[in-house]
Structure 1
Amino acid sequence: MTTALSVNLNKIALIRNSRTGNFPDVTEFGRICLDSGATGLTVHPRPDQRHIRPSDVRELAALCHASTHVEFNIEGNPFAAASGNYPGLLALVAETNPDQCTLVPDSNDQLTSDHGFDLYKSGETLKPIIQQLHAQGVRVSLFMDPDPEQIVLAHKYGVERIELYTGPYAEHYGTPAGDKMLQQYRLATEHAVKLGLQVNAGHDLNLDNLPDFLRIGNIAEVSIGHALTVDALRMGMASAVEAYRAICEQ
């Protein structure tokens, strides 16, 4: 199967936010990504707005909605309260109507997402949020570790997709531990597919480790931002997107 490539634009926004003004323009770079073959764009707005801002979400939603072949994915913590001009994740989703909302259990003090949901603890709290998003016509994905028991619970709560957190795989790539983890991701993916779930993946995937990861099969979408942005510094954004797209289409 061909895996969809959704480019996460957070790091472009982070560079922009280091100065006043709008340089680099996040929406312009989103357009470059789509023109270069990305099948979607991802943003992760946070209350601290250290990278993506609510205004970026609105502009990128309009960019994606202008094409019938592009998906817009908003990810973030559904429990984060409104702060300043950050209206909260669910309010932004209701306003901008993304194709997919990826719910992530990150806290305000985390540098980045570093674990999946424990649905034994948070499943019942997430249930009405999932129902609300479905009522708005938004596909729901849960950020998960490759744990079959947790994946069963994700299916129980009615989401269409899970996104496997691939940080541990990336950290140990090229070692015996990495090979063992890859098998764990393979088994988790097969388990999810048997339940009727589609599987996304993301976090620290790059040009080196992505080909081996995708060989496990049945990965519907990867969301890549940090590594792709670093590669873009070397080869340009369009060429970086094309390189990742080529891997996803193998």
Structure 2
Amino acid sequence: MTKLSVNINKIATLRNARGGNVPDVIEAAKKIESFGAQGITVHPRPDERHIRYNDVRELKPVIKTEFNIEGKPIQDFMNLVLAVKPEQVTLVPDAENAITSNAGWDTLKNGLYLKEVIADFKSHGIRTSIFVDPDKKMVEGAAETGTDRIELYTEKFAVDYGKGDKNAAKTYAECAKLAHELGLGINAGHDLSLENIAFFHKEVPYLDEVSIGHALISEALYLGLEKTIHQYLKLLK
């Protein structure tokens, strides 16, 4: 079964919009785990516009499943990850002005840099994943860095599938097969939802984990958080 890691950034966004501590991201993470999710994902950014660095520190002792921290490996981020020591760190090439992640790494151009960062994290026992576009050359480049996994950036799939393209997952499946042959684990995330997750899961082999935040939290506004998580888990079996 592919694991479901729930990104709780949007819960922090809601909290920050009002000030105070409602909703409580720590309590939300506990509830999400109790509803069956197999991981919690956070993506702190330098401006702390949603998840704050201190949230990350406070979450680590209470998470009982897997903790995945996403972000661009600037020095402050690296210091945070090495202090917290999550089960997984996912490296994302965020532009400073990006509202959300919008591209994978060029693993050929940034190969040496990524290799050094990954070696540092792995020396502390932290599993590493690189956010990549569904491009075989980028997958091959990722394998050269020493990473444990890749995370396939799935926005294009979501857009194409939403237009009725039944081949929307083809390049993702090909990249997943190649990654598996190269000894890499495969994660996926971005714009996956209850509408498209079953198709993606059926078409893309060797999928270890999906990380879902915006869609899941949005769907939970209508369905409730527990029911939404249960539906994802059912579709990922």
TM-score when normalising by structure 2: 0.97
Aligned partner of 1:74 in structure 2 is 69
Q: Please identify runs of 4+ aligned residues in structure 1 that moved more than 3 A.
A: none
Matched ranges for 1:183-202 at <5 A: 183-202=170-189
Matched, 1:217 2:212: no
Matched ranges for 1:78-227 at <5 A: 78-79=73-74, 88-175=76-163, 178-215=165-202, 216-227=204-215
1:208 aligned partner, one-letter code: E
* Post-superposition offset of 1:240: 1.2
Q: Distance in 1 between matches of 2:82 and 2:171?
A: 35
Q: Distance in 2 between matches of 1:239 and 1:90?
A: 35
The answer to whether the 8 A contact 2:129-2:148 is kept is: yes
Q: Distance in 2 between matches of 1:207 and 1:18?
A: 26
Matched, 1:60 2:59: yes
SS of alignment partner, residue 151 of structure 2:
strand
Query: For 1:36-77, what per-residue CA distance to the aligned partner results, in whole angstroms no more than 9, with x for missing partners?
Result: 00000000000011100012101211112xx3xx11000000
The alignment of Structure 1 onto Structure 2 pairs a total of residues equal to 236
Superposition CA RMSD, Å? 1.1
1:36 aligned partner, one-letter code: F
Q: Distance in 2 between matches of 1:135 and 1:107?
A: 27
The answer to whether the 8 A contact 2:192-2:212 is kept is: yes
Unmatched 5+ stretches in structure 2: none
* Post-superposition offset of 1:203: 0.1
1:20 aligned partner, one-letter code: G
1:78 aligned partner, one-letter code: P
* Post-superposition offset of 1:151: 0.7
Aligned partner of 1:84 in structure 2 is none
Moved more, 120-129 or 152-161: 120-129
* Post-superposition offset of 1:131: 0.5
Q: Distance in 1 between matches of 2:131 and 2:220?
A: 26
